[in-house]
Amino acid sequence: MSITCILISFIGITSLSALEVSVNQKQPETFSDDVLTELSYPLPQELTGDRQEKGIVLSQLLPLFFEAWEINIDGIPLRIETLEDTLEHSYLLTSDPELALFIPGYQIFTDVGSIDVSGEILADDQLEIWISWEGTDELREEILRFGKNHAIDITVLNIPNPESRLISVVRGGGSAPDIIMSSPGKLHSLVEAKALQPLPQSLTIDLDQRGVQAFSLQEKQWALPFYCDSQLFFYNPELIDLSSHDSITLTELETLAAQLSSEVALPLTWNAYSVFWLLPFEYSFGKESLFEDNRDISVFDEPTKRALDYIVELNQKDYFRPTEKDAMISLFSSGRSAMIYSASYSIPYFQKLGIPYEIAPVIINDATSTPLSPMLDFKAFGITHHSSHPILAYRLLSYLTGLDVQYRFSKELYKLPANSFSSKALESSTPYYEVMLKQTEQGKVIPSDSAYTAYKNIMWKLLRFALSGQMKTEEVLKQGERLLEQASSDQ
């Protein structure tokens, strides 16, 4: 790989009318005030010395570096170890006419007129990435923006079940991408198939540590969290009113359900056939961890029994109707369900439909005084073991997990960004984010352990027997325990 040593020069115009960027002081590119304003986004005060600021990540205005070692600010040179990474966390502040520069570990440099960066340009010029889940159009746009800015040919493919596809390619031969989008439940299989390469911990700076841990196995980091969805209770404000509540108990929720005539709308609906909707109640009834000390999953315990008994009782009282996901969304969208337990990815869909909806406050289990713990479903990006361009892939991951992309993508799609600073910026500027973040404070992350997959599949079948009345709760859980022990011994 041919790498050229260069000197990058910035000449800042103090009126903020333009910013000239040149490489080796040749062929300067001018960024107008309009362009800088368009590129800027709100920065959290933790980054800016408690000042209300907008800004641009410095790396967005620079080429990609294989290595960088010195930044010169108005004639003052700074030698910074791994400067190429530091540039991803440094910001040009654009709120005032005089440009300012924030570099982690240093004071904010004000009235900046020129910036020089010495380093070696990264020569790689192509990548392939597999994406999936919601927001693929918006994600593709962000990735292609990165490619256009740096003259990189990036192939972006929307692949259903990308982890299974990659494992098949690794085992059977074929062309693997450089980067793949993944969920925690498939991480164990990817690592076992030697499909991913471990990532440096330096890439996890500023990321939600719950998401970081969700993609850690064997004391190694295998993927970087990009966003998560969280379960939320949505309600129709034309049918019930929770606007004056900071929190609401399960008993109060039942009272509201009892007052709502089933001829008008179903009180509560969600997909109770899935453990994804059972677990929040289990945790609220006192379950501390899904896993036992030996890393096995147990379902024959008191919190699980109390949780399942409670949901079955709601069903028997006609306060609750178990439905599959699509039916749940359809009932709520048509006004035939007053409240559903869905996920944050539903917000853009409801907005597009123009239906009345609000997000319920924190739900408290008054039997234990414990909030329901919504499940946090993180999605992440990993670099494949067969990538021919790992350094360039690192740079793309740094870009995708940076404050600017995280802010734009999450604001548009109401995802919870993995970048902690983006969460704070969104909380102060975007409807619903404050209540969303409050709801997820007690959230539990979907585990990456392979035992979770077996647990999810086994309980999916058994929960139907409990909700239909064909089996009592205790029988369901005993059978679940037996099947889980069998699945564990078969591994």
* SS3 assignment for 436-460: HHHHHCCCEECCCCHHHHHHHHHHH
Per-residue pLDDT at 24 exceeds 70: no
Per-residue pLDDT at 482 exceeds 50: yes
What's residue 491's pLDDT? 61
High-pLDDT (> 70) share of the chain, %: 91
What's residue 357's pLDDT? 95
Q: What is the mean pLDDT of residues 467-480?
A: 91
Q: What is the mean pLDDT of residues 352-364?
A: 93
**What tens digit of pLDDT does each residue of 38-61 get?**
888 888 777 766 666 888 888 888
Per-residue pLDDT at 4 exceeds 50: no
Amino acid code (one letter) for 42: P
Per-residue pLDDT at 14 exceeds 50: no
Q: Rounded CA gap, 354 and 273, in Å?
A: 29
Q: What is the mean pLDDT of residues 197-208?
A: 88
What's residue 21's pLDDT? 62
Q: What is the mean pLDDT of residues 118-122?
A: 88
Does 159 or 203 have the greater pLDDT score?
A: 159
CB atoms < 10 A from the CB of 147, how many? 18
**What tens digit of pLDDT does each residue of 75-87 get?**
889 999 999 989 9
What's residue 246's pLDDT? 83
170-182: b (≥16 Cβ within 10 Å) or e = beeeeebbbbbbb
> Per-residue DSSP letters for 455-489?
HHHHHHHHHHHHHHTSS-HHHHHHHHHHHHHHHHH
Per-residue pLDDT at 216 exceeds 80: yes
Does 449 or 184 have the greater pLDDT score?
A: 184
Per-residue pLDDT at 184 exceeds 80: yes
The fold of the 126-228+384-409 domain, in CATH, is: D-Maltodextrin-Binding Protein; domain 2 (3.40.190)
When mean pLDDT is compared over 68-72, 295-299, 377-381, 465-469, the highest value belongs to 377-381
Does 95 or 278 have the greater pLDDT score?
A: 278
**pTM for the whole thing?**
0.86
What's residue 452's pLDDT? 84
Q: What is the mean pLDDT of residues 189-197?
A: 93
Per-residue pLDDT at 224 exceeds 60: yes
Per-residue pLDDT at 17 exceeds 50: no
Range from 133-147, 290-304, 395-409 carrying the lowest mean pLDDT? 290-304
Which residues have CB under 8 Å from 395's CB, separation 6+? Answer: 64, 122
- Give residue for tokens 């790396």: 59
Q: Give ranges for CATH 3.40.190.10 in the chain.
A: 126-228+384-409, 229-376+447-490
Per-residue pLDDT at 10 exceeds 80: no
Q: What is the mean pLDDT of residues 266-285?
A: 91
Per-residue pLDDT at 431 exceeds 90: no
Q: What is the mean pLDDT of residues 34-38?
A: 80
| CATH superfamily of the domain spanning 229-376+447-490 | Periplasmic binding protein-like II (3.40.190.10)
Binned at pLDDT 50, 70 and 90, residue 27 comes out as low
For residue 142, give Cα distances in angstroms to 85, 230, 406. Answer: 20, 23, 10
Q: Which residues are bridge partners to 72 per DSSP?
A: 77, 116
Does 285 or 42 have the greater pLDDT score?
A: 285
Mean pLDDT of the chain: 86
Q: Which one, of 92, 137, 84, lies nearest residue 112 by Cα?
A: 92
Binned at pLDDT 50, 70 and 90, residue 13 comes out as very low
